[in-house]
Chain A
Amino acid sequence: MGNSALFAHSMQTWIGAGPIWVWAALSAFLIIYLVALPFGGFATYVERKVAADFQDRVGPNRVGPYGILQFLADAVKMITKEDFIPDGADKFLYNLAPLLVVMGACSAFAALPLSKYLMGADLNIGVLYILAVTTLVAPGILLGSWSSNNKWSLLGGLRGAAQIVSYEIPVALSILPVVLISGTLQVGTIVEQQGWAWSGATTGQYHFWNLFHNPFCFCAAFLLFIAGLAETNRIPFDLPEAESELVSGFNTEFSGMRFGLYALGEFAEVFVMCAVLTALYLGGWHIPFLNLDQMWIKFPEAIIILVQLAMFSIKTLLLVFVVMWLRWTLPRLRVDQLMGMCWKGLVPLSLINLFGTAVWMWVFNGRSLAQLLFGSGHG
């Protein structure tokens, strides 16, 4: 399966011999526990701090300096809370549903390109894999809402499933222009092509960020962001939990650690959405206008990993901040507006983007805007 288990391979070579599947399992474990869970926990703190800033409050400030350990306190609270199952709930599905959500959101981390050498697995169907595993979230929400035996929950769950299934289409259609440009579904290759080359024979290989590849891609990136917001049930598209109409929507009846799992799944999904946007459109681990492979000195691999990891995290976390920003800026849509926007707005627009990118690739022989402007005479 291509260059799969990249991270596992490098771990095997660093630490010594051992069967590869042990290292593959260990790397999956490490990525989920070192990236997904801390991010999910810490994001709750950041979200509250950001919300406080926007509303001119102080926010959590009791646990640790600037309240930075608040998420640990929250975790302890959630674990020690009473494990409450409502009367008449369907116990099996009630237990299963939050797990499906977390499973779907966390599995996607395996294919995220944190750096050129730090990646769970560079699958040759990477983009498809991320799209596929995140669909597990929809059954999780629907089953959780039905099993808690509450009408508000059921309404929220039905809304949520309809919304996720519908917005899957603009998400996929907005990813396709990138696949068209790169000619591959492998995330590592897609990111690698978005580098920058000042001059030389390699200009033809690098076409800078896909965001600036052509005008249609520029639009497609914004469509992907909007559709991704809806896909992850964030404000202004959080109809499934709409606290002013549906109490708390699909997770009304969930308390303690099960609610924690839902929250964790949601934050992990937001991170995955932003990371996919970063990897596909914003150049992933690349530093703008700088190519680490073409410097006057050769950096050791560890430095490159750290720099690329920092770059990727900065881009992704900035997008996450924008997501939190939108939460306190935009009002929630109505259900009919939401569906109308998807089917009458985003789907036709993303089809136009796809067609436009195809025409661009045909007319300019696959060269990007940056290559046309700066690369003439080289390659």
Chain B
Amino acid sequence: MASNGIKDRVAIVGMGCTPFGEHWDKGPEDLLVDAATETYRSAGIDPAQVDAYWLGTMASGFSGLMLSEALKIPYKPVTRLENMCATGSEAIRNAAYAVACGAYDLVMAIGVEKLKDSGYSGLVGANPPNDGTLSNMTAPATFSLLAPAYAKKYGVEEDTLKQVLARIAWKNHKNGAKNPKAQFRKEVPIETICKSPPVAGMLGIFDCSGVSDGSAAAILCRAEDAHRYAKHPIFIKALSFAAGPAEGYYSQDYDFTTFPEVVASSRDAYRQAGVKDPRAEISMAEVHDCFTPTELVLMEDMGFSPRGQAWRDVLDGRFDGEGPQPVNPDGGLKSFGHPIGASGLRMMYEMWLQLRGEAGPRQIAQPKLGLTHNLGGAPGRCVSFVSIVGAA
């Protein structure tokens, strides 16, 4: 497999992110204008300088016109893309490759989603015309399958696992409480999390990420040009993506304690970045905590914890904001909600702040390498994105 990578060839020189939440007074176009304006300003550039755009949105709009009309971009390439919950990260990845190959000098990756206008609970997917045999399982139901499978495989008592999952939610809300852009900015006691109304399987309301609106964006250029735009650019070390063959939906071998797509994409990313020991070398990570068991399993799939040990690391506080390897220091999907097209860029925004020492009360001491991880689909059938970025 040739995944050659573009280590240190592309830099991010400006980023912006709207507050995430219930923007009753703003449509997706307004959120795009807000995020783009903040991002132009962050990079200190005039919109006319941007050569091309990548817009990620799952279902809040269609085609490049959604962005070009909102921002009045005059006759430039705008690509609209969708890759389920990893849509925002895909905007970054495709924009970065366009710069790396020399096709463009300065580009924008932007993501947006407006979920709160639907009036429904949870995420709602639109299917193409079909034969009526598609699964009726909701997202929390599919991810809830991880918990009992993990408990059984590693001999963890169900009560203990419940505590582990609650601690993940508690940690992410604790981090989010310090983030002015988060949807939920309150700490939540472990007892409240444990007692929340059931949604699916072992999962209560507090085991699920919220539903919100938001947008975030980045300006990218070749690494050698980075200092023309930013005093402290951040550099892309690795970009990896894996779409699975959905083996878990067909094969009886799959046991719901891992995402093979995440294992493949993180290994590829480590190879591109030259990371040998992710547990030691990755300073911090923004991962796809759509539901609490997802974050637990991700820690093992990405090599932050040995197999069967992540639950202990969670209880030991290894991934806490003040811990040795903070995970979701900005509060994660748990505190931000998950406006699909925006989440991947929101994760990168936290890397941007942390690597530049701008994360305020959440600042991690001298982070070297940061990782973002985005997942779309369900256990057994998903897409996974991993990026690694650094300040130098």
Task: Answer whether A and B are interacting partners.
Answer: no
